[in-house]
Chain A
Amino acid sequence: MNRIDKKFHDLKSKKKPAFIPFITAGDPDLQTTKALILEFEKRGADIIELGIPFSDPIADGPIIQASYYRTLVRGTKVAQILDMVSDLRCKSDIPIVSMVSYSTVFKGGCQAFIEKVCKAGLDGLTIPDMPVEENLNLFEVAKKNDFKIVCFVAPTTTDERMSLITQYSQGFLYYISVVGITGTRDKLPEDVLQNINKLKKMTKTPIAVGFGVSTPEQARLIGGIADGVIVGSAIIKEIEKYLNEPSEKLVNKVGEFVGQLIEGSKG
Chain B
Amino acid sequence: MGTTTLKSKVQKHEGSCRVTGFPDKMGHFGRFGGKFVPETIMPALDQLEKAYLEAKNDPAFNTELEYYLREYVGRPSTLYYAERLTKKLGGAKIYLKREDLNHTGAHKINNTIGQILLAIRMGKKRIIAETGAGQHGVATATAAAMFGIECDVYMGEEDMRRQSLNVFRMKLLGTRVIPVTSGSKTLKDATNEAFRDWMASVRHTHYILGSVVGPHPYPMMVRDFQLVIGKEVKKQILEKENRLPDYLIACVGGGSNSMGLFHPFIEDKEVKMIGVEAGGIGTGIGQHASTLTSGKVGILHGSASYVLQDDDGQTLPVHSISAGLDYPGVGPEHSYLKDIGRADYVSITDDEAVNAFHECARLEGIIPALEASHAIAYTMKFAPTVSKDKIIVICLSGSGDKDSFEVAKKLGYKI
Contacts and interface: CB of A to CB of B under 8 A. Distances in A.
B37 A179 contact: no
Given A106-B299, A180-B40, A59 B199 contact: yes
B312 A104 contact: yes
A165 B39 CA distance: 10
21 contacts: A54-B314, A55-B309, A57-B192, A58-B195, A58-B199, A65-B182, A66-B182, A69-B183, A78-B312, A101-B313, A103-B299, A103-B315, A131-B37, A134-B26, A156-B39, A156-B44, A179-B199, A179-B200, A179-B203, A180-B199, A181-B199
Interface string A56-71: 1111011001100100
Nearest to A52: B312
Given A55-B314, A55-B315, A103-B299, A152 B199 contact: no
For chain B, the bracket of interface size reads: 35 or more
A267 interface: no
Interface string B287-300: 00000000000111
Contacts of A165: 39
Given A108-B313, A128-B38, A180-B200, 13 more contacts: A56-B300, A58-B38, A58-B199, A58-B301, A58-B302, A107-B299, A107-B309, A129-B37, A153-B39, A156-B202, A161-B43, A176-B39, A176-B40
B42 interface: yes
B40 to A, nearest CB: 4
A102 B40 CA distance: 16
Contacts of A130: 36
A157 interface: yes
B183 A107 contact: no
B186 to A, nearest CB: 12
B34 A134 contact: yes
Nearest to B26: A133
B38 A152 contact: yes
A77 interface: yes
Contacts of B188: 56
A161 B47 CA distance: 13
For chain A, the bracket of interface size reads: 35 or more
B243 interface: no
Interface of A: 54-59, 61-62, 65-66, 69, 72, 77-78, 101-108, 128-131, 133-134, 151-158, 161, 165, 176, 179-181
B196 interface: yes
A32 B175 CA distance: 44
Nearest to B45: A131
B71 interface: no
B314 A102 contact: no
Between B26, B43, B201, the greatest number of chain A beta carbons within 10 A of the residue's beta carbon is seen for: B43
Contacts of A176: 39-40
A69 B184 CA distance: 11
Interface in B22-77: 26, 34-44, 46
A130 B309 CA distance: 18
A179 B312 contact: no
Contacts of A72: 314
Contacts of A102: 36, 299
Nearest to B46: A158
Interface string B1-39: 000000000000000000000000010000000111111
A107 B26 contact: no
Contacts of A180: 40, 199-201
- Sorted nearest first, the 4 A-B pairs with minimum C-beta distance are A180-B200, A107-B313, A103-B313, A59-B38
B239 interface: no
